[in-house]
Amino acid sequence: MGIIFNQKEQVFLLNTPNTTYGIAIADDKYLLHLYYGKRLEQESVRYLLREDEPPFVPSKNLREKNSFLDCAPMEYPEAGMGDYRESAISIRSIDGYRGSELFYEGYDIEEGKPKLEGLPATWGGASDCTTLKLYCKDQLLGIKVTLLYTVFEQLDVVTRSVVVENHGEDPVYLEKVLSACIDMDDRGFEVMGLFGSWARERHIQKMPLGYGRQNISSFKGESSHQEHPFLALVTPEVTQEVGEVYAMNFVYSGNFIAQVEKNQFDSVRMTMGIHPEGFTWKLDKGERFVAPEVVMVYSSEGLGKMTRTFHNLYREHLIRSPYLHQKRPILINNWEATYFDFDEKKLLDIAKEASQLGIEMLVMDDGWFGHRSSDNSSLGDWFVNENKLKGGLHQLVENVKQTGMKFGIWFEPEMISPDSELFKKHPDWAIQIPGREITQSRAQYVLDLTRDEVIDGVYQMVSDVLHSADISYVKWDMNRQLTTIGSCKLPADRQGEIYHRYVLGMYKMQERLLQEFPNLLLENCSGGGARFDAGMLYYSPQIWCSDDTDAIERLAIQEGTALIYPVSTIGAHVSVCPNHTVGRETPFDTRGNVAMLGTFGYELDITKLSKEDKQSVCEQTKQYHKYNDLVREGDYYRLTSYRENSYYDSWMIVSKDKKKALLTYVQVKARANGKSRFVRLQGLDANKTYTIQGKEYLGSTLLYAGLRFSAEFGDYKSQMIEIEEV
Ligand code: GLA
C-alpha cells in the first residue's frame, strides 16, 4: 500500500516506487509538511519536523505563535493569521473578516481515486492508486477543508486537490483556494517554466531562484500562449539524466498561478492553483467548492525521468479518448491552403489529390458557416454557408468520402461575433460589463458559458451540424482571451466566479459532445497552442500545438511541449515554404521529420505541390504508418537541444521493450569548419545488440560513446534513423 499512517508518530507517508511524501500532525493539530523527495525506507521520521527548535510548538510557546506560523512548513497555509508567505487559502466571512485556522480532525485512506465533480482529473482504480483524505476544520466559520492526495502505485506521482465545504450557518467568500503547496529548504534550486507568445508557445526557460516571490501565471481566462501551468524546481546540476526535479502541473485550463517563494530562512514554498486575481467564490451554507488537481512529480534522475513519468501518467490515467492508442488518420487541413477563400470544388480537389498520396482525412477549417469570409463575422451562426458550399455539408462530406477520405470540421463554440445572427438575437450572451464597451479581440466576443441556456443554445447548433453529415473529427478552437469580465445573469456577489464558471461551462460542453458522439476524434486548439494543457487532454487526445508550422520554430515549441505532454498529443503538420509565419525555407523531408513527433498531417494546398514534393508526401505517409505505433506508445528521450547548443537538435523514441527506437537528428545550422560529433543515445538496453543502417552496435556503446553525425553542408538538414534489436 502506498500510504502509511504511523499512529505513534502521527505521520503520514505517501510512497511511490521511488519517492516519499510526508505529512505530520503537530501537537497543536496543525498539518505540517514533513518531506518530499527520494523514497525513505524508514517509517519513524518525525524528527524532520524540528520540533525541538523554537518556536515550533505554539501550545508550549504561545508568545511566539506568529513566528511559528511564519516559518513552520505548513501543509495548507491560511491567510490572515500570521504566515506572511504565500497562503493557499483565504476566506472572508460574511462580516468581512479575512482569516481562518484549519486544524486536523481525521483522515481516510481509500483505494482508487474519487472523481472531482465537473473537473478533468487523472483517474485510476483500486489496483492503480490509493487516496488519502485529510479532514481539517475552521471551527469559527464552520468550514471543512479536505486535502486529497492520490498516490499512483506504479508511477512516481502524487496528485493533490482540495474540497472546501461550508458547514456553518452563514455564507463565506473564498478569495483564494490553491490546490497544492510544499515547503522545503532551498538547495540552490533553479526555477524552470514554459514561456512564449502566439506562434512561439512553451519555450523552456530556467532562472535562478532569488529571495522573494517568482511566479508564472495567467489571468487571461485560459492557460495561455504566454505562461504555462507548469513549474519545476531543479537542482543546479540538472540535465536530462541527472539532478533532482520537483515539478507541478495543473490539470486545469483557466487562470492559474504557479509560484515559488524563498524566504528569510532560506526555505522555499512552491504553490499552484487557480489565480486569486479576479476570483471570489461565494460558498453558501451546505455548498462545496472543488479545487482542480495538481500533479506532482519528483525525479532524482533528471528531467528525462520527470518527462516520462508525466507521459506515462497522462497516457494511462488522464486521456480517455478511444483514439489514444490508435493511429490517428493522417489529415490535411485547408487553413494554410486557402484561409477563408474556398468552396466545395476547392476542398474536393484537395481531397482527391490528397487521397492519392496516402492522406486519410480532410479537415475543413474556419469559414464554412454564417456569412463568414474573413474573421470579422458569424461566430455563433453554426449553420452552413450554402453560397460557399453549394449542395450543402452532407453532399460535400459524401463527395469527400467518395475519394476514400474521412471528413473533419472546425468550430469555435465559445465565441460570438458582434456581426452575427446570434448576437442580434442574444446580445446579453456575451461576457460583458453592462454599460461598458466590450473589448474586441479578433473582432469577436466570448460567450457567457456560466449560463446553461447559452451552453444549451450553442451546443444544440454544433450537435445539429454533426448529425447532418458523417463527420469523424472536430477541431475545437478558442481564438481570444477573456476581458470585460461580467455576466448579465449572475448576482453581484457571484461575479467573482465568472472565470472559473466559464471553464466549468466549457468542460461541460466538451463532456456533452463526447457523450453524444463517442466516436468523434476531438482536437482542441486555441489560436494555436494557448490551451495546450492537461485539463484539455482529459477531453481530447490531441491538441493543435502552435499556429507556427515552420519546422525549425517547431523544434523549441515541441521540445517544451514534450517536456510534459506525450508526443501522441502534439498536433503537428507539414506546411509549405516560405513558411507563412516566419518566411523560412526548409527541406520538405525536415518538415516531415519534425511533424512525425506528433499526430502528423498536412496544412497546405496539395494541388499546388511540385511532383517531387508529392512524392515526398507519399513517402512520409508510409513512414507515418511504419513508425506511429512506436512514436505514440514509446518512451521519449531528449538527446540534445538546439536551444542550448545553437546547432543541433535530437531526440529518440524507444519502445517500452527497448527492442526498437527511432532517432531524429536536425542540423539546424551548418557550422563553418564543423567536425562530426557524437551524440550519446538514451533509453536503450546496454546489453542488447542493435542494428543501425546495416551496422551492429552494443547498446552500451551507443549509450556511453554515442553515434557519429557528420557536419553537413547547409542548414536545416535532418535524418530519421531506425534502431532495431538484432
Ligand atoms: C486559429 C487556429 C488555426 C486556424 C484559425 C482559423 O488560429 O489555431 O489553426 O484554425 O484559428 O481561424
Give the pLDDT mean for 288-305: 98
How far apart CA 556 and CA 201 sit, in angstroms, is: 9
Give the pLDDT mean for 481-487: 98
Give the pLDDT mean for 57-78: 94
Mean pLDDT in the chain?
97
Predicted pLDDT at 1: 64
* C-beta 548 within 6 A of ligand 1: no
How far apart CA 641 and CA 563 sit, in angstroms, is: 12
Task: Locate the DSSP E strands across 64-128.
Answer: 89-92, 103-111
Res. 472 pLDDT band, cuts 50 70 90: very high
* C-beta 365 within 6 A of ligand 1: yes
Predicted pLDDT at 59: 87
Give the pLDDT mean for 22-43: 97
Indicate if the alpha-carbon torsion angle 291, 293, 294, 300 is positive or negative. Answer: positive
Are 324 and 541 contacting, i.e. CB atoms less than 8 angstroms apart? yes
Cα 391 to Cα 345, 400, 407, 548: the distances in Å are 11, 13, 16, 34
Give the pLDDT mean for 661-668: 98
* C-beta 378 within 6 A of ligand 1: no
How far apart CA 658 and CA 627 sit, in angstroms, is: 15
424 CB contacts (<8 Å, ≥6 apart)?
Answer: none
Are 123 and 161 contacting, i.e. CB atoms less than 8 angstroms apart? no
Q: Which three cell numbers stand for residue 679?
A: 551524440
What pTM was estimated for this model as a whole?
A: 0.98
Active site residue 428: no
pLDDT (tens digit per residue) in 90-149: 999 999 999 999 999 999 999 999 999 999 999 999 999 999 999 999 999 999 999 999
Predicted pLDDT at 157: 98
Query: Residue 709 is which amino acid?
Result: F
Q: Ligand 1 test: best mutation among 225, 363, 366, most atoms within 8 Å of CB?
A: 366
Give the pLDDT mean for 287-299: 98
Nearest CA residue ID for atom 4, ligand 1? 335
Q: Strand 542-544's sheet: what is its strand order? A: 570-571, 542-544, 521-524, 473-476, 406-411, 361-364, 331-333, 601-603, 574-575
The C-alpha cell 508550422 sits at 549
* C-beta 544 within 6 A of ligand 1: yes
The active-site residue, picked from 70, 477, 613, 649, is 477
Active site residue 266: no
Q: Calculate how far, in angstroms, residue 575's C-alpha sits from the geometric centre of ligand 1.
A: 14
> How much of the chain, in percent, has pLDDT values that exceed 90?
98
Say whether pLDDT at 168 is over 70. Answer: yes
Are 438 and 392 contacting, i.e. CB atoms less than 8 angstroms apart? no
pLDDT (tens digit per residue) in 8-19: 999 999 999 999
Say whether pLDDT at 660 is over 70. Answer: yes
Give the residue from 290, 298, 243, 291 showing the smallest Cα distance to 270: 298
pLDDT (tens digit per residue) in 571-599: 999 999 999 999 999 999 999 999 999 99
CB atoms within 10 A of CB 40: 16
Say whether pLDDT at 379 is over 80. Answer: yes
Q: Calculate how far, in angstroms, residue 377's C-alpha sits from the geometric centre of ligand 1.
A: 15
Predicted pLDDT at 545: 98
Say whether pLDDT at 56 is over 90. Answer: no
Are 101 and 138 contacting, i.e. CB atoms less than 8 angstroms apart? yes
649 CB contacts (<8 Å, ≥6 apart)?
Answer: 555, 559, 640, 641, 642, 665, 666, 668
pLDDT (tens digit per residue) in 524-567: 999 999 999 999 999 999 999 999 999 999 999 999 999 999 99
* C-beta 335 within 6 A of ligand 1: yes
Q: Calculate how far, in angstroms, residue 312's C-alpha sits from the geometric centre of ligand 1.
A: 29
* C-beta 120 within 6 A of ligand 1: no
Q: Which three cell numbers stand for residue 528?
A: 494555436
The active-site residue, picked from 156, 183, 547, 635, is 547
